[in-house]
Amino acid sequence: MLYNEPSPLEVKILTRRFGLENSQSLDTYLATDGFAGFRKALDMTPDQVIDEVKASNLRGRGGAGFPAGMKWGFVPRDSPKPKYIVVNADEGEPGTCKDRVLMENDPHQLIEGMLIAARAVGAQAGYIYIRGEYRYIIDIMDRAIAEEYERGYLGRNILGSGMDFDVYTHTGAGSYECGEESALLESLEGKRGQPRIRPPFPAVAGAFQCPTVLNNVETFCAVPAIFRDGAAAFADLGPPRNGGTRLFALSGHINKPGVYELPMGFNLLRMIQEVGGGIRGGGKLKAVIPGGSSCPVLRAEECDLSMDFDSVAKAGSMLGSGGVIVMDETTDMVKLAVRIMQFYQHESCGWCVPCREGTLWLEKVLTRVDNGGGRPSDINLIDELARNMLGRTFCPLGDAAAMPTISLVQKFRDEFEERLPKSVPAGDPRLVVVG
């Protein structure tokens, strides 16, 4: 089902079957070039498959934007261990809701992407790790998998090629941290979602300590088109080093929030105005979080920006998971900072001290500032605590909590200062009551 009207500005590569009758069925999939990419991949050597993905400039859609072909190339194909494909369908980054529609509307595209990855690295089984809240998606994927077994697209000797591949769904049970790749792999083994120390990376020791390709849903979903239409066609959709399209999830204060597939590098202001229908109620844009709540906030004047990994990084933020959170001038940035920190505090797995204690302390200080009970030194304290978390945790959840916080204090400091009690002049150290 589609939950928002498509936009005429969309470039439909991954979403091309959205809205077709029975878009979940294998028949619809096959009637619309389904498995054309996989058939081509079957005629290629594993190295050629990996090179094709490299040439497409496909970068990971889960957050970090790591080149997918390069990641596949790290898998030691001569290892005697079994190799696995793992799909990250945990989709927990606030502001992000695109993997859900990709699986709901075109489940076979995801499986074809997994098959091509399996062909590239010699994997014999794959797991789709789906967040527990997406129960109906598990049913959709299970039906799609069953259909493919029946028709010979999964199982033994697939399409007479001699290749074997099994796919299983696996459910999470409510944990943002389990979207982090190494915590996900722990969770897949039936344990608490605590990150693993890397190296070794999943390519070498992933699922069940075996070589593993782990990518986001959208990353795998882009793969069939790369083989069907050619790597060059895919790369050409976006600016250099940023191939293809992206499913942007627009949310917040806009007239037409929704998930839209746009070419990589689409201008952010245009996205808000022309795709999202502009700010609701004719209001004025104040700020945007461009890639899910872990990303530094951009002020309105920073939003004339090409939405690709490199340009957004240059602007001091991240393209992240493609969750574009739009805020108008009524937005209370202190409240926003509090809510963001509550989330990371709640989701911190508690394994490493800077993250567990840092998020808790930050939540307390931010909350007291918001409630009007802040101390003049609190604003610098927030900044310092957040900076002290950066890069000092086993997994990037600490960074994810710190980065938006640092940017909010830096860019909207006046709003934090206004919230301090008026009787104590902000910044006068003699008046600070210690305790």
Ligand X SMILES: Cc1cc2nc3c(=O)[nH]c(=O)nc-3n(C[C@H](O)[C@H](O)[C@H](O)COP(=O)(O)O)c2cc1C
Rounded least distance, CB 161 to another protein, Å: 23
Does 323 sit near another protein (CB under 8 A)?
A: yes
Check if the beta carbon of residue 380 is closer than 8 Å to that of residue 426: no
Asked if residue 66 binds ligand X (CB under 6 A), the reply is: yes
Q: Does the protein bind ligand X through residue 177 (CB under 6 A)?
A: yes
Rounded-to-integer distance, Cα 319 and Cα 245, Å? 13
Q: Which does 172 bind (CB under 5 to 8 A by kind): ligand X, another protein, none?
A: another protein
Distance of CA 193 to the CA centre of its chain: 18
Indicate whether 356 belongs to the interface with another protein (CB under 8 A).
no
Q: Which of 41, 249, 382, 385 binds another protein (CB under 8 A)?
A: 249
CA distances from 192 to 93, 98, 350 (A): 19, 26, 11
Contact indicator for 136, 83 with CB cutoff of 8 Å: no
- Fill in the DSSP letter of residue 217: H
Q: Using an 8 Å Cβ cutoff, are 306 and 265 in contact?
A: yes
- Residue from 27, 47, 150, 189 touching another protein (CB under 8 A): that is 189
- Decide: is 182 part of the binding site for another protein (CB under 8 A): no
Q: Does 343 bind another protein (CB under 8 A)?
A: yes
Burial class (CB in 10 A: 0-12, 13-18, 19+), 166: middle
DSSP H helical ranges for 205-332:
217-229, 231-236, 268-270, 309-314
Selected binder of another protein within 111, 336, 402, 408 (CB under 8 A): 336
293 in contact with another protein (CB under 8 A): yes
Stretch that binds another protein, among 45-53, 220-228, 321-329, 415-423 (CB under 8 A): 321-329
Window 185-214: contact mask with ligand X (x via CB under 6 A): -----------------------------x
Contact letters (x/-) for another protein, 117-136, by CB under 8 A? --------x-x---xxxxxx
Strand ranges inside 112-172, DSSP E: 125-130, 166-171
Give contact residues for ligand X (rule: CB under 6 A): 60-64, 66, 88, 90-93, 176-177, 179-181, 214-216, 219, 395-397, 400
